[in-house]
Structure 1
Amino acid sequence: MVSIATNEHEITLIYNSDIKNHKEIFAYAKSADDNLNAIDLTKQKVTGTFFTELADLLGVQVKDLIPTDHSAFVLKHGENVKLDNDGAIKILQHEPDMLIYPIAVKGKKAIVAKLYGDITQFFDTDTAAVNIP
């Protein structure tokens, strides 16, 4: 069973290895000093409860995990689609490409990583190593 890590020394990344942007964000997450728990939705099935917990960490509802105005969603499902949480869970479970942006979790904080640089906010910075003139 896949679960969300709430460890301050581990990054959990929920992503789709078939999407270029997701692979770039995965590479950044892998370069962190913390452990990486990578959940590739094309290879691992996750429960509806998992998506509900993920949405809770983000402070949104499950239906908000899918941007219905994104061109990839519109191309597949049409415009002006109104999703409920159950419908969103089914889509996320059966169509991993509809998770348009990967989601990263570290401890009790979660982010939607739209750009590969977004993941760096989970990296530890060692300010002692910075040479300040």
Structure 2
Amino acid sequence: MNTSAVPSVLFVCVHNAGRSQMAAAFLTHLGGTRVQVRSAGSAPADTVNPAVVEAMHESGIDISAETPKVLTTEAVQSSDVVITMGCGDACPYFPGKRYLDWQLEDPAGQGVAAVRPIRDEIERRIRGLLTELGIEPAA
């Protein structure tokens, strides 16, 4: 990780419509301005999964205005931590970056009831990541 005062985290999944959107939203919500957050997909969808939007709304986080973004080499290069979620070899690798691979069920095509446990696991992992980064989660 670089020595900047604000660490940068990039979440990557295939469509950037579910897991990476939830992770980015939780990290933004809990980390605030103490962490820079990006998310992207190797083959981004047109819109964020509606069941994911609903599940996040239940947690008090509105991601309805978010749009899937394409993964760029620049996004990886400018991030301290890159967390992949099922994008396989599509994510470029750069020496000196910290990479984590979070094995999480894909919420694509699932209803909100199936998305809730994925959402809750992502929140748990985000809280752990904040602790590792030395950032106290917001209440």
What TM-score do the two structures reach when normalised by structure 2?
A: 0.35
What TM-score do the two structures reach when normalised by structure 1?
A: 0.36
Which structure has the larger Rg over C-alpha atoms? 1
Q: Comparing both chains, which one has the higher relative contact order based on Cα–Cα distances under 8 Å and sequence gaps of 6 or more? A: 1
